[in-house]
Amino acid sequence: MAQQILVTLDGTVHDPDVPFLHADDLAAVRGDGVFETLLIRSGSTRRVDAHLDRLARSAAMMDLPEPDRDAWQMAIEVAEKEWSAVGGDGEAWLRLVYSRGRESAPEAGPTAYLVAGAVAERARRARSEGLSVMMLDRGYSTDLAGQAPWQLLGAKSLSYATNMAALRHAEHQGFDDVIYLSSEGAVLEGPRSTVITVTGKSLATPPPETGILPGTTQRAVFDLAEQEGWATATKTLRRADLLGADSVWLVSSVTLAARVHSLNRHVLPTSTADDEFVDLVDRAICVD
Ligand code: PLP
C-alpha cells in the first residue's frame, strides 16, 4: 500500500492504516463537509492561504463552523514535516477534510483531519503528455448558482460522486478528462480542474458566478501573468473559443498544468508557447 500521512487538526499524527472515522460521520454517510487539496513540493506546501480562504468560504456556504485557521496552519506544517520524515522527498498531495461530524453526536462538532500521499502517476502523465478531453453537459444553467444556493455550486463540498461518475463515463469512452458545459453551452470547468485558454499573450477563464469552483491555481496564474504583462479575462467561453485558442489547459493544485491535446477527438495544435505557460504556472504556485 502506498505510504500516507494522517494528521488530526490538533496536530496528532495517526497510523494511516488504522480505521479512523466513526461509521456515522456525516462525511461518510452524506458527503456533508468540505475539503481542499494542496501540493507539497520541495518540502513546502503551496498556496496555503488561498486554500484556507476557500476552505472557510466553502464552510460558510454549508453553515459549518468557521474553520480554526491557526490550527489548520499548524496541522499543515505537521503533515509537511511528517511527509519529509518518511522520506517523501517527492511531491505529495495534501487533503484537508472538514465534515459536519457524527450524526449521533452533533454536540461533538466537526471532524477535521489531513491526509497526504505521493502524487499519482496519472497527474505526472497529464503534465507531460496532456489530456484527451470530452465535453459533457452538466445539465444546468449558468443561473443556477444564484437561484439555488442550496446546490452548493462553487463550494468544494465532499459530494464529488457526480464528478467521479463524469470521469468514469469519459474513461469508458477512451478519454482522459472532462470539460463541463452549461445547458446554454457555456464552458464551465473540469470535474477537478479549471479551464484556461491561451491566445497570444492573453489568458481567459470562465467566471465563477456561473457556478464553478474559484480555482486557486487559476488565480495564482492570472496574478503573476498580469504582473508580467499578459492580458487576462474572466468571461464566458464557448466551444468555439476553445477550438480557436492557441492552447487549452486544465489547471489544478496537484496536476498543475495539463494541456488539452484533443477535444471530443478533435486534435488541438501544439504551440511553441506551451512551455512558457507551464513555466508560468510553476512559478505562480511558488508565490504565496
Ligand atoms: N474545479 C473543480 C471542480 C475542482 O475540483 C478543482 C480542484 O480540485 C479545481 C476546479 C481547481 O482548483 P485548484 O486550482 O484550487 O486546485
The reported pLDDT for the residue numbered 4 is 94
The reported pLDDT for the residue numbered 88 is 61
In the beta sheet, which residues pair with residue 111? 99
pLDDT digits (tens, 9 = 90+) for 24-42: 999 999 999 999 999 999 9
As a whole number of angstroms, the distance between CA 231 and CA 249 comes to 16
Q: What residues in the chain have per-residue pLDDT under 70? A: 1, 87-89, 288
In the beta sheet, which residues pair with residue 267? 262
pLDDT digits (tens, 9 = 90+) for 150-207: 999 999 999 999 999 999 999 999 999 999 999 999 999 999 999 999 999 999 999 9
Nearest-atom index, ligand 1, CA of 191: 3
Nearest-atom index, ligand 1, CA of 163: 3
CA–centroid distance, 212 to ligand 1, in Å, is 9
Q: For residue 172, give the 3-state DSSP assignment.
A: helix
Please give all residues whose beta carbon lies within 6 A of any atom in ligand 1, as ranges.
Answer: 37, 189, 191-194, 213, 215-218, 251-253
Nearest-atom index, ligand 1, CA of 253: 16
Q: Could you write out the DSSP letters of every residue in 6-19? A: EEETTS-EE-TTS-
Residue of 97, 136, 153, 193 to mutate, ligand 1, most atoms within 8 A of C-beta: 193
Q: Could you write out the DSSP letters of every residue in 226-286? A: HHTT-EEEE---BHHHHHHSSEEEEEETTTEEEEEEEETTEEPPP-TTHHHHHHHHHHHTT
Q: E-assigned strands of 162-221?
A: 177-181, 194-199, 202-205
As a whole number of angstroms, the distance between CA 44 and CA 73 comes to 12
Nearest-atom index, ligand 1, CA of 218: 14
CA–centroid distance, 109 to ligand 1, in Å, is 27
Residue of 152, 250, 253 to mutate, ligand 1, most atoms within 8 A of C-beta: 253
**Residue 46 φ then ψ, to 5°:** -90, 140
The reported pLDDT for the residue numbered 272 is 84
CA angle 214, 156, 208 (to 5 degrees): 25
Q: For residue 52, give the 3-state DSSP assignment.
A: helix
Residue of 127, 158, 179, 252 to mutate, ligand 1, most atoms within 8 A of C-beta: 252
Answer yes or no: are the C-beta atoms of 113 and 274 closer than 8 Å: no
Cα 13 to the center of its chain, rounded Å: 25
CA–centroid distance, 231 to ligand 1, in Å, is 22
Identify the residue whose cell numbers are 459536519: 100
CA–centroid distance, 95 to ligand 1, in Å, is 12
CA–centroid distance, 97 to ligand 1, in Å, is 15
Cell of 88: 517523501
CA–centroid distance, 222 to ligand 1, in Å, is 15
CA–centroid distance, 107 to ligand 1, in Å, is 31
